[in-house]
Structure formats: C-alpha cells, structure tokens
Amino acid sequence: MPLKTVKKDTAEKLTLEWVLHVKNYRLSLDRNRCVGCQICSLACPKEAIKVEKQPKSKGEKTRRPKVDVDLAKCNFCGICDILCPYGAVKVTLDNEHSLPVIEKECFPKPIREIQVNPAKFPASREEIEDACPLHLIKVSAPMSEKAESTATVEVEKEYCPCCRVCEVKLPSGAMQVRKFIYGKIAVHQEKCPDGCTDCLDVCPIAGALFLQDKKVAVNDTFCVYCGACKLVCPVEGALELERTRIIHEPIRSGAWNKTLERLTSPVGIAKELKNKGSLKARESVKKRVGLKED
C-alpha cells in the first residue's frame, strides 16, 4: 500500500516526512535561518532541492530566493543538513538528529573552528553579542563590569557560517574563526546596472558586501561563499563567485567527491584529490568535468 508521506510548507518552516510504522524520517527547513543560497541545491545527491528567485516589487528590497524540496526525490540522507552553512536544515530519524551518512563515514562534516577566549572580551555584553551579524553569540547573564571573566560566552556553532566578522569586530584574540568554505568573489562594477543592490539585499553577512560610490563592492574576508548573491544577480558576469575548498573531516566517499564537484570549481577538486592521492577518483572526475591537468 502507498507510503504515508507528509509535506507542510509555511512561511516559517518547510517539513517533509516519511511516516513509517516503526520509523519517522523528517526534514525541516527553518525559513528564518535559510538565506536562499546555492549550497543545498548543489549538494543534494538526488537533485531534490530547487532554489527559486522571488519576484521583486518596485521600491522594495530584493527578497531571498526560496528553497523547495521535492518529496518524491528526497531520501532523507541529510547531506543538505550537513552542509548548510547557516544550519537551516535539520534531518531527523525518530526525532533524533543522528545521521547515518556521518556515522557510517559516508560523508564528512565540515569543520567549524571557532575559538572563544573570554579573557579578551570587552566589558559590554551588547558589544559582544552585536559582533555577530547573525546574532549567534550569547553571553550568559549576569555580567558585571568587574567579573566579565566569569561570564560564559557561547556561540551557536551549528548555525555559524564562519564569516569571521566577530573576529575582526572584537578586540584581537577574543575570537578566532577559521572559514570552512574558501573561495573567490568579485563584483565587476562596470557591469552593474545603476542603483542595483540586489546582491547586497540578500547577503546575510553584514559587511561582506557594501556600498561604494553607489555601487556594490566586496570584502572577501567576510564572505562565506554561499552564493545567495549570485542567485539574485540580474546581470550575467557581474558577480563572479567560486568555491575552491571546503574544510572537512577526512573521508573516502564517492558521494562527497560528487558533491565537491558540484560545489567547487574544477581546480578545487583537483587540489583535494591530489592531496588525498586519490588517483582513481581523480581520473573519473577528469572524465566527467573535462578537468585539465595543471
């Protein structure tokens, strides 16, 4: 008899479910955290995710693209969950956030390296918390002028895209963040239509893009290369974005190689495979993407 499935879509949340008698598989997408970037749709091995540009009405800010997941294609593997820079997707099995693809070492976890050094924090709680463009730093109260070192500072790591804004905003050494997605981004201002700020409108990292003489400019230090901007840019070639590396736990997995192929530039994969000395995988990638030996 047919499989019982559920799909619910609200402004807050998208939920997909397989309701089996003994197991419950659920994918939920927190629309408040989702920025509508490129990552999950590229990462999904079943091509179940579509990201759609939203229509723009005059005088309003560009809206973030909308993510939709096809229930017929999704197999609840959780790869989108693992790779979402903003931690917007959660895939659970019987309400437990445990992913077999990780447990069975079939897919790597990106490494979010965030070091917090409370000794170096400034006194003001607001100042600390405001350092994060996504408001992920939480300082435990009470925090007094004198006893700041006893207060704990916590970062909601699972939602952190590692943009490094806090590292720069706070006194040196207070936070140390290493990006887990590396890449290149450039805005060719000569191609930008006058007054267009579409990319800036959707970028979740305040400071990664900014206005310079009425044109958008980039600060490469803060960009997490999620590609939300790329999706909304109206002019072909005005915004260039490329991911070159993803920092992850060591793994040997065909699924990861393919994800990498879709997420990063050919040069990026070549490097990773070279480092791993995985000749066979390299050959197959070469065949598929027409990689040139460098």
Positions touching ligand SF4 (CB under 6 A) are 29, 34-37, 39-40, 51, 67, 80, 84, 86, 88-89, 106, 226
> Which tokens in the block code for residue 102?
């990780």
Task: Determine, following the binding rule CB under 8 A, whether residue 107 of this chain makes contact with another protein.
Answer: yes
Q: How many C-beta atoms surround the C-beta of residue 214 within 10 A?
A: 11
Nearest CB to another protein, comparing residues 79 and 163: 79
The candidate with the shortest Cα–Cα distance to 256, out of 243, 275, 272, 277, is 272
Chain-centroid distance, C-alpha 247: 13
Which of 235, 254, 274, 288 touches another protein (CB under 8 A)? 254
What CA–CA distance (Å, rounded) separates 82 from 288?
A: 25
Nearest CB to ligand SF4, comparing residues 18 and 121: 18
CB of 85 to another protein, least distance (A): 20
Residues 6+ apart with CB under 8 A from 67: 14, 29, 34, 36, 40, 41, 49, 50, 51
Residue 96: DSSP 8-state: B
CB of 281 to another protein, least distance (A): 9
What CA–CA distance (Å, rounded) separates 108 from 101?
A: 8
- Tell me the window of 98-106, 112-120, 162-170, 176-184 that interacts with another protein (CB under 8 A): 98-106
Cα distances (Å, whole numbers) of residue 180 to 27, 83, 243, 258: 24, 10, 11, 18
Q: Which does 18 bind (CB under 5 to 8 A by kind): ligand SF4, another protein, none?
A: another protein
What CA–CA distance (Å, rounded) separates 79 from 152?
A: 32
- Tell me the window of 80-88, 103-111, 162-170, 242-250 that interacts with another protein (CB under 8 A): 103-111
Q: Which does 79 bind (CB under 5 to 8 A by kind): ligand SF4, another protein, none?
A: another protein
Residues 6+ apart with CB under 8 A from 270: 282, 285, 291, 294
- Tell me the window of 33-41, 95-103, 183-191, 237-245 that interacts with another protein (CB under 8 A): 95-103
Nearest CB to ligand SF4, comparing residues 82 and 174: 82
Q: Which of residues 233-252 bind another protein (CB under 8 A)?
A: 252
Task: Determine, following the binding rule CB under 8 A, whether residue 225 of this chain makes contact with another protein.
Answer: no
Which spans of this chain sit near another protein (rule: CB under 8 A)?
A: 1-4, 18-23, 45-46, 75, 77, 79, 100-101, 103-107, 252-256, 258
